[in-house]
Amino acid sequence: MNPFSARRPLLALAATITLVLAVAAPMAAQETPAVTVLKAARLFDGSSDTLVTPGMIVVEGNKITAVGPESVVPEGATVIDLGDATLCPGFMDAHTHVTFESTGDYKSNMVEGLQREISEQTVHAVVYARTTVEAGFTTVRNVGSNDYIDIGLRNAIARGLVPGPRILAAGYGLGSVGGHADLSGVRHDLFPQADYHQGIATGGTGFREAVRYQVKNGADVIKFCASGGVLSYADEVDTPQLTLEEMTALIDEAHRLRKKVAAHCHGDEAAKDAVHAGVDSIEHGSFLSDDALRMMKERGTFLVPTLMAGHSLEGQLEKWPPPIAAKARAAIDGVGDMFKRALSIRVKIGFGTDAGVFPHGQNAGEFALMVGLGMKPVDALRSATSWNAELLGIADEVGTLGEGKLADIVAVPGDPLADITATERVFFVMREGAILRHDGRSPERP
């Protein structure tokens, strides 16, 4: 999350959404026929080891009614032939910050966070959301936002008011006083200390209240900071920030309210406590030991490695304060080896990028980073489709291409199993049957 935004009081979002609508109205989805048949040279269904050839999908309304080359084209259907391309389930990014985008410069981020009104920040978020969905990511989990902008944006997208991905929103990320979720690096008397309304709490009771407050305001998922982080000033990146008692209370309360829990966590000790307490996913995981990874394997805990976050910071660290740059270097140095060991131990791996730390729309760069560290291309695709659908708890609706599933479909040029970077050149996007991007037939490869 953006660690530099100033604390602001809770704001009713009605006026903000009105402003957003005025800006975003021309960006609405293209009119989509009632029955559409998509054809392409290949199809990845989200779960299989191989591609289907040729690819064909029948879409009626917002759902898929048939998949595969034997499907019957309904009379009167509009047929779209995408050529030498591969049809895939809409990609999912399980770790985004769609209401924020870093400039790559600490001081610039700080100043912009202080200057932007909430309404202006929301308009920026609308633009980021459109960029994200046009890159092929039809679902995102937004793991931290100030002022509940992600929840207002989620609602506007769900109502068809603005284009964007399906959003599972966390509201405020939870954390300890002085920790990664708390504002630091500024003069002590400038802002009042945040409390559980902004996710900052102490003790089991305090974190139960913080969970309840996020759920009250519409959170789909709870995110908390189990260890320190990189882009925050006061905390060490690998130290535990909550006690086991606090984590247990937080996770128990979220699960009692039927919300999954994602733990920002670079450190090994904090990860073991979070896994022991029942967390659903460990985000980042830079310094995880084999013992922690084996615990995750045994308990079915997902790892969301966010390789793009560190990759995007390389070459920019001179623009960050020395303490932050040092933490970033340590995390960058550790995450690749950790990822390889997670693969060998066969930990469940979800696809997440930390988009917002780098420009939105570049999310698909994560695929090549994962494959470069030894992941099979088909598993990289599964991580962003069926595996993420399991992690997010929405596998009944999306994540695979099958009869009765919501019609979240993207097309990439060529064969992504032969060239995983094809995922970075999405040229067709459909979300719930609505065409949000259609550049014509598969473009020529560069």
Give yes or no for a contact between 132 and 156, defined as CB atoms under 8 angstroms apart. no
Which ranges in the chain are annotated with CATH 3.20.20.140?
A: 91-392
CATH topology of domain 35-90+399-438: Urease, subunit C; domain 1 (2.30.40)
The region of weakest confidence among 28-37, 338-347, 359-368 is: 28-37
The arithmetic mean of pLDDT across residues 315-337, rounded, is 88
The arithmetic mean of pLDDT across residues 382-407, rounded, is 98
pLDDT attached to residue 119:
95
pLDDT attached to residue 32:
62
CB-based burial, 283-311: b 16+ in 10 Å, e otherwise: bbbbbbeeebbebbeeeebbbbbbbbbbb
Q: Over the stretch 416-431, which tens digit does the pLDDT of each residue have?
A: 999 999 999 999 999 9
pLDDT attached to residue 232:
82
Instruction: Phi first, then psi: give them for residue 79, nearest 5 degrees.
Output: -100, 125
Percentage above 90 pLDDT, the chain: 77
Predicted TM-score of the model (pTM)? 0.92
Q: How confident is the model at residue 96 (pLDDT cuts 50, 70, 90)?
A: very high
pLDDT attached to residue 31:
59
**Residue 84 pLDDT exceeds 80:** yes
Q: How far is CA 286 from the centre of its chain?
A: 18
Mean pLDDT, the chain, whole residue set: 91
Structure-token match 């202006």, residue found: 120
Q: Over the stretch 135-152, which tens digit does the pLDDT of each residue have?
A: 999 999 999 999 999 999
Q: Which of 168, 167, 246, 259 is nearest to 208 (CA)?
A: 246
The region of weakest confidence among 31-35, 157-161, 253-257, 394-398 is: 31-35
Q: How confident is the model at residue 289 (pLDDT cuts 50, 70, 90)?
A: very high
CATH 1.25.40.10 for the 91-392 domain, yes or no: no
Length of the chain (residues): 446
How are the residues of the chain apportioned to helix, strand and coil, as percentages rounded to the nearest 5? 35, 20, 45
The Cα 334–Cα 155 span in angstroms is: 38
Instruction: Phi first, then psi: give them for residue 57, nearest 5 degrees.
Output: -140, 135
The Cα 56–Cα 42 span in angstroms is: 8
The arithmetic mean of pLDDT across residues 354-363, rounded, is 97
Q: Which of 164, 87, 92 is nearest to 351 (CA)?
A: 92
The arithmetic mean of pLDDT across residues 251-257, rounded, is 98
pLDDT attached to residue 13:
44
- H or E element at residue 223: strand 221-225
pLDDT attached to residue 4:
38
The arithmetic mean of pLDDT across residues 33-40, rounded, is 92
Largest pairwise CA distance in the chain: 69
The Cα 364–Cα 58 span in angstroms is: 26
Based on DSSP, count helices (H) and strands (E) in the chain, helices before strands: 13, 16
Environment class of 318 (CB within 10 Å of its CB; exposed 0-12, middle 13-18, buried 19+): exposed
pLDDT attached to residue 195:
87
The reply to whether omega before 54 is within 30° of 0 (cis) is yes
Higher-scoring residue by pLDDT: 316, 297: 297
Which ranges in the chain are annotated with CATH 2.30.40.10?
A: 35-90+399-438
The arithmetic mean of pLDDT across residues 407-412, rounded, is 98
Q: Over the stretch 333-348, which tens digit does the pLDDT of each residue have?
A: 999 999 999 999 999 9
DSSP string, 66-78: EESTT----TTPE
**Residue 37 pLDDT exceeds 60:** yes
The Cα 59–Cα 246 span in angstroms is: 47
Instruction: Phi first, then psi: give them for residue 274, nearest 5 degrees.
Output: -65, -40
pLDDT attached to residue 179:
87
Which residues lie below 8 Å from residue 28, measured CB to CB, with a gap of 6+? 160, 162, 163
The arithmetic mean of pLDDT across residues 223-242, rounded, is 90
Decide the pairing of beta strands 260-265 and 281-284.
Answer: parallel
Distances (CA, A) of 268 to 220, 239, 284, 286: 27, 8, 11, 8
pLDDT attached to residue 7:
41
Q: Over the stretch 98-129, which tens digit does the pLDDT of each residue have?
A: 999 998 788 888 888 888 999 999 999 999 99
